[in-house]
């Protein structure tokens, strides 16, 4: 056996002996100090330990960008018909005229609204906000 192999075997035998000694102490009824849970490492988000001026730490997420989509309607067409579209083509959607449009944030429906024009720009006036409980109920059905 080479000298480096002996060093490796010796280190592992010493580690094994130390582990056996620790187990013998525990088996003999002598207890080792119990580990205490770490506290205060992370901020509390339950509102009890947030600290002064934190406003439940909402500031941490206020600047996170999300994708908002306003969906007028949907349709399915074949690739053949898609390739035939030209300037002035009309595509029929499944939504009826005057129906509210869906407002989605990151793909989740959060509201419905109607189109408005302000200073020659299109916008949407929210007419119905979907509550979190309604969103959960829709997921179940």
pLDDT at position 83: 95
In a domain, 42, yes or no: no
Residue 70 contacts residue 103 (beta carbons within 8 Å): yes
In a domain, 12, yes or no: no
pLDDT at 41 over 70: no
Residues present in the chain in total = 141
In a domain, 75, yes or no: yes
In a domain, 2, yes or no: no
Which pair of tokens denotes residue 78? 């074949």
Mean pLDDT of all residues in 1-17: 59
In a domain, 22, yes or no: no
Residue 10 contacts residue 4 (beta carbons within 8 Å): no
Which of 25-29, 59-63, 95-99, 129-133 is modeled with the greatest confidence?
Answer: 129-133
Listed residue (112, 134, 138) closest to 125, CA to CA = 112
pLDDT at position 10: 54
Which pair of tokens denotes residue 39? 């506290």
How does residue 17 score in pLDDT terms, banded at 50, 70 and 90?
A: confident
CATH of the domain at 131: 2.30.330.10
pLDDT at 103 over 80: yes
In a domain, 45, yes or no: no
45/110: higher pLDDT: 110
As for how many domains the chain has, the answer is: 1
In a domain, 57, yes or no: no
Kindly report the pTM of this predicted structure.
0.51
pLDDT at position 138: 74
In a domain, 127, yes or no: yes
Rounded CA gap, 141 and 139, in Å? 6
Residue 99: give the domain boundaries: 65-140
């Amino acid at each position: 056996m080479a000298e480096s192999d002996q060093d490796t075997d010796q280190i592992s035998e010493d580690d094994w002996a130390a582990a056996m000694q620790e187990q013998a102490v525990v088996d003999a009824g002598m207890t080792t100090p119990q580990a205490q849970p770490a506290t205060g490492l992370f901020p509390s988000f339950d509102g009890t330990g947030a600290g002064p001026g934190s406003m439940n730490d909402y500031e941490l997420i206020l600047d996170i960008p999300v994708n908002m989509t306003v969906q007028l309607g949907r349709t399915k067409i074949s690739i053949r018909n898609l390739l035939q579209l030209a300037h002035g083509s009309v595509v029929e959607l499944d939504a009826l005229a005057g129906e509210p449009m869906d407002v989605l944030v990151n793909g989740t429906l959060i509201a419905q609204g109607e189109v408005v024009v302000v200073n020659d720009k299109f916008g949407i006036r929210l007419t119905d906000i979907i509550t979190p409980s309604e969103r959960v109920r829709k997921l179940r059905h």
